[in-house]
Structure 1
Amino acid sequence: MTGTVLLLDLAGWVALLLWGIHMIRTGMQRAFGGELRRVLTLSLDHPLKALLAGLGVTLLVQSSTATGLMATSFAADGLVALIPALAVMLGANVGTALIVKALSFEVAAIAPVLVLVGAVVFRRASGAKARAIGRIAIGLGLVLMALGQMVGTLGPYRDSPALRVLLGIVAADPVITTLLAALFAWAAHSSVAIILLVAALAGQGLVPPETALALVLGANLGSALNPLVASHEPAGRRVALGNLLVRLTGCLVALPLLGQIAPIVERLAGDPRDAVATFHVAFNMALALAALPLLGPLAGLLRILLPERAVAPGALPVLRLDAEQAGMPSVAVGHASRHALRLADGLEVMLRDAAGLLQGDATALERIRAGEREIEMRGAELQRYLAGLDPEALDEIEERRIAGLLSFTIQIGHAGDVLARNVATQIGRRRKLGTTRNDLDLAGLLDRLAANLRHAASLLVTADDRAARRLAAEKRAFRDLEEQHVAAHLAWLREAPSRDDSAWAVDLDLLRDLKRINDHVVAGAAYPILRDSGDLLDSRLRASTQLAKASPG
């Protein structure tokens, strides 16, 4: 039973370590997430600057996986070239190694103080940023506490014959040892946690130096798998695959030399626990220095291995939410915004097809219906994606942003439904009835709707109050146009009640449906911005108390 108790204890402390790292990462994202993404974006014009930016961001968010996801998302969105994105990954690898080095020092005694200070700040602070800083302090305290407890848990078992036999089996083959550590690092989504556990084992003398270094190599390899699994588009997968190839090459070179490397690292570090952290830093710095001049040829190889997929015109890429993105709203919201804009592009294509249908394009109707099905499917996919985000990782701004994206997606879906089911049908009836006797310019209205839709898409990016008010004014313009044509229709009928008004009625139905589409566009893009700025009234009705005073008795 002692072996079972040991494994349970270690699993519990590793879980606490992972949770502490998670709290640090989410706290940094809440407090400085926008600034970190901005710093990373501004540093992507040169590989060396990108490497340093990746290193700095990783030191702050305590996760090379998080930085890697940012880099792959930038590459997938076309915001950064492949070579700087690969450099970011090299910097992230060095950054996570420096984190391990910093945590390897004997600082566990301050863990309770950090938890106490963090809890007080978190409970007492009123601002979101201050609460996030308290969260960071709590997370750091938990990490240090878990490290101290892991070392203490392993101490009594250092002379256990059963444990030494088990670890001896693991250490028998360096390749198996490396692959086993890679599996654990991939499953834990954290090379930091695995390497710190290895350092604790080495510090208690439970694994020989050469085995400890092989485990370090495996943890480096396994953590490179996470961004590759998380990315689904060729541009993003190239970055992740490039990072994996660099680390795999480093492992293949270092593995046969571990027998010579281990004594050197031991002499330099002195302590076995410190030797693990030192080797981790040296390995990643060596990889960064060796790979940085070779990023050009590596990028060429990656473009050959992962060419661009042929995508049908107007098709929307599949949007998937993985566990890491669910805990990183700043990355996930960027993906969602991109897909919401593509939904708007799909609706604009449908409006152009509606104009073609008006001119007699026989194939336009089928394209409109196919476009509506695509928007409905992708809209539901986007809503599931946003619903899967970790609420614990959201700050107030991100919550408002997600609510706005949901509103935009739903309204675009309603607009596509009205266009496919009502407008397209009424255009077919209009063509059968022939020209009308009123002056309704349907082609002009479709162009105006397309312009409003482009305006709405820009609001999704800029969130500008003045632009939102201009778009909201279009709702009144369409309502006035509908009232004018209804009045003109009524006057025309009064002149000769027996007239056939079928064609004019179709045009009025079309105008009403186009107005509904415009209402959905305005509600999806302008209203969330105006509501946040206080420019949108809750109701056009007077307050109930005023109505009561005006009513008799």
Structure 2
Amino acid sequence: MQIVGSVALMLWGIRLVRTGFIRAFGGSLRHYLGLAISGRLTSFGVGLAITVFLQSSTATALIISSFASKGLVQTPAALAVMLGADVGTSISAQILSFNLSWLAYAAILIGFFLHGRGGRFATRQIGRAIVGLGMVLLALSLIRMSSQPLREADGLAYVLSALEGEVLLTLFLMAVLTWLVHSSLAVVLLTASLASAGIVPTGTGLVMILGANIGGTIPPIIATLSTGPQSQHAALGNAGFKLLASLLVLPFLPWVGERLQSFGGDAQVLVNFHLTFNLLVATLFLPWVQTAAALLARVFPDTGAGAVEPVTKYLDKELITSPALALTSATRELYRVNERIEDSLALLSGGIAARDQVDVQGAQENRARVAAMLEEFKFYLTDITREEISESDSAKAMNLLLIATNLGHVSELVTNAVELTASTSHEQIRFSEAGTAELLEMLELIHQGIRLALSAALLGDAKVRKTLQKGRKELERMVDESRQAHFSRLAEGTLSSISTTSLHNELLRDFSRIYYHIYTASKIGGRDSSVMIRG
């Protein structure tokens, strides 16, 4: 039972290391993973470096698979990242295989101090990761001590002797174990510790390492079963690489074991083999990721049959535990909301310019889509704030919620303006040429404002805020002048102005309210973000 408890301690420590680094450097990790689109060598290097920190190729694989499912990373780059991640976790195993038990208690003490006393959120999360590292080192030390009595256990000796001649059974059992614990690193370290105590023979241990590598590819496959083929391609491709390499290496395992014996004891042989195997996989398949991606697309095509377009694209539930990453995803989703509103503004402009072709259905569909997106957006932000979150990230979440609320008002008002314009189109009532020009000029100003509002709010650009402030004053001036010009046309008896008086005034009212919410959204996050939102 002691060894089971030690394994549980090691798994929890690995989790703390992973979550600590993700929460502390989530934005940076996402940035560097974003570099994966620049080439296979860069993708490989990014996957390797990030996994050394996270100590989990499974975590990296799940993140990159979620990116691929949303079209943010292409399959060849995702495959290269996974190859790098496998090498990265092998390097972590190399580092942790040394007897660093003397460092365990110091790491736990330092990490506890940083997590409990650290003023900054990032410092506390780094402390969490250091505590996790100390727990892993302590667990490995406990496994070494508790495994000594197992050498005398007749039952265990019988099981291991039976497995020694059953290569496929050993591969299967280790793959299942790795899938259950979701950590090939933990299984490799456990196997190496048992080998150092003389419990696991070298030959059986090599097969167990292969099984752990195969099992590490299962969680990403299962996690992407309900997603698009793009992410499935990356997970399935990585599994295919491991299976092919395992078939290639299996006949040469005795020879490989003999060659590696000169580099250390039984435990070191296994971790060296783990690193050598993943370097071999990367060497064999990295040059062929483009070809592999094409083959996967042919074998597992994206037919799109029966596919339903998701409401949101960037709100990744797997990133909730990392507020920095999740907030970045939420920010990207706001830009999609903005695009929908811009589409509706274009429909409104078209409806005013050509009254007999008002696409009111398109505007209503955009409004419904924006409402659904913002509903999911608000629930997503709520989930983020339930996690351990820094004050700055909490403020960002609140700002994003306020911006989203204002964008929702803009969407409603734009659609209302489209419906007003369409309500009289069947009567063949048209604005006067002067009135049409005035309304279109104001719409152009509004269109420019909606494009700038998010940049002003999210980037804190004071110059853009001043531009929008001037734009609001300019719009109010144009509204007043258009209202006066319209009354002048009424006095002159212009028939088109007489028939559109009510519509013209209602549109002017909506234009003012639209720009108010645009301007309010732009001020959020700045010194003057205390402006209250009016419904």
TM-score by length of structure 2 reads 0.82
Task: Give yes or no for contact 1:485–1:508 (8 Å, CA) kept in 2.
Answer: no
Change (3 A) 1:472 1:224: farther
Distance 1:264 1:161, change over 3 A: same
Instruction: Show the counterpart of 2:417.
Output: 423
Pair 1:406-2:406 in alignment:
no
Q: Which runs of 5+ in 2 are unaligned?
A: none
Q: Which residue in 2 is equivalent to 1:213?
A: 206
2:185 alignment partner in structure 1? 192
Distance in 1 between residues matched to 2:384 and 2:113, nearest whole Å: 27
- Verify the 8 A CA contact 1:28 1:133 in the aligned structure 2: yes
Q: How far apart, CA to CA, are the structure 2 residues paired with 1:338 and 1:95? A: 29
Aligned-residue CA RMSD in angstroms?
3.9
**Which one-letter code corresponds to 1:527 in the other structure?**
K
Match of 2:289 in 1: 295
Corresponding residue of 2:515: 518
Do residues 242 (structure 1) and 237 (structure 2) align?
yes
Specify the code of the residue in structure 2 equivalent to 1:95. Answer: G
Supply the distance in 1 between the matched residues of 2:315 and 2:164 (Cα, whole angstroms): 37
Are residue 527 (structure 1) and residue 523 (structure 2) matched?
yes
CA distance in 1, matches of 2:374, 2:506: 27
Following TM superposition, by how much is the alpha carbon of 1:117 offset from its aligned partner in structure 2, in angstroms?
A: 1.5
Shift of 1:251: 2.3
1:158-200 alpha-carbon deviations (Å, 9 max, x no partner): 4334455566677674333323333333343322122222223
In 2, the alpha carbon distance for the partners of 1:351 and 1:332 equals 29
State the alpha-carbon separation in 2 of the partners of residues 404 and 128 from structure 1: 19
Separation of aligned partners in 2, 1:223 and 1:28 = 21
The code of the aligned residue for 1:351 comes to: L
Query: Where does residue 366 of structure 1 map in the other structure?
Result: 361
Q: Which moved more, 1:227-236 or 1:290-299?
A: 227-236
Cα deviation, 1:85-134, whole Å, max 9, x if unaligned, reads 43332222111101011111111222111111222233333334433332
Distance 1:149 1:323 in 2: 36
Which of these residues, 118, 124, 133, is aligned with residue 140 of structure 1? 133
Aligned to 1:456: 453
What is the one-letter code of the residue matched to 1:299?
A
8 Å CA contact 1:430–1:503 kept in 2: the answer is no
Structure 1 Cα separation of the partners of residues 287 and 38 of structure 2: 16
Q: Structure 2: how far apart are the matches of 1:491 and 1:363?
A: 27
- Identify if the C-alpha distance between structure 1 residues 133 and 334 changes in structure 2 by more than 3 Å, giving closer, same or farther: closer
What is the match of residue 504 of structure 2? 507
The Cα of 1:29 is off from its aligned counterpart by 3.4
Instruction: Map 1:290-369 to 2 at 5 A.
Output: 290-307=284-301, 319=313, 324-358=318-352, 359-360=354-355, 364-369=359-364
For 2:423 and 2:398, the matched residues in 1 are separated by 38
The aligned counterpart of 2:467 is: 470
Q: Is the 8 A contact 2:36 2:81 kept in 1?
A: no
Summarize the Cα distance change of 1:170–1:27 in structure 2 as closer, same or farther, 3 Å threshold.
same
Q: Which residue of 2 aligns with 1:382?
A: 377
Residues 49 and 349 (structure 1), Cα distance of their counterparts in 2 relative to 1, 3 Å cut: closer
- Structure 2 letter corresponding to 1:136: A
Name the CA distance, whole Å, in 2 between partners of 1:83 and 1:354.
42
**Greater alpha carbon shift after TM alignment, 215-224 vs 357-366:** 357-366
| Cross-structure match for 1:284 | 278
Q: Distance in 2 between matches of 1:436 and 1:360?
A: 8
Relative to structure 1, the CA distance from residue 460 to residue 261 in structure 2 (aligned partners, 3 Å threshold; closer, same or farther) is farther
1:26-79 deviation per Cα after TM superposition (whole angstroms, max 9, x unaligned): 333344444444455557644334323332222123232344355446656666
Displacement after TM superposition at 1:284 (Å): 0.5
How is 1:19-98 mapped onto 2 (pairs within 5 angstroms)?
Answer: 19-39=12-32, 41=34, 45-69=38-62, 71-72=64-65, 82-98=75-91
Q: 1:463 Cα shift? A: 4.5
Distance of 1:68 and 1:145 partners within structure 2: 27
The answer to whether the Cα contact below 8 Å between 2:413 and 2:514 also exists between their aligned partners in 1 is yes
After TM superposition, give the deviation of residue 280 of structure 1 in Å: 0.9
Q: What is the letter of the counterpart of residue 246 of structure 2?
A: C
Partner of 1:546: none
Counting aligned pairs with the same residue, the percent is: 30
Checking the alignment, whether the CA contact within 8 Å between 1:64 and 1:93 is kept in structure 2 is yes
Letter in 1 for 2:345: L
After superposition, the C-alpha distances for 1:424-472 in whole angstroms (9 at most, x for unaligned) are 3321334348346784733333333333222235457744332234235
Q: Does 1:442 align with 2:436?
A: no
Structure 2 CA distance for partners of 1:332 and 1:223, relative to 1, 3 Å: farther
User: Quick one: structure 1 residues 494 and 245, their matched pair in 2 at CA, closer, same or farther if it must change by over 3 Å?
Assistant: same
Flag the 1:492–1:373 CA change in 2: closer, same or farther, 3 A: same
Structure 1: distance between partners of 2:215 and 2:249: 16
Q: Give the residue type in structure 2 aligned to 1:536.
A: S
For residue 121 of structure 1, what is the amino acid of its counterpart?
A: L
How many aligned residue pairs are there?
523
Indicate the SS of the match to 1:536. Answer: coil
Distance 1:169 1:201 in 2: 17
Preserved CA contact (<8 Å) 2:315 2:333: no
Report deviation, 1:409. 3.5
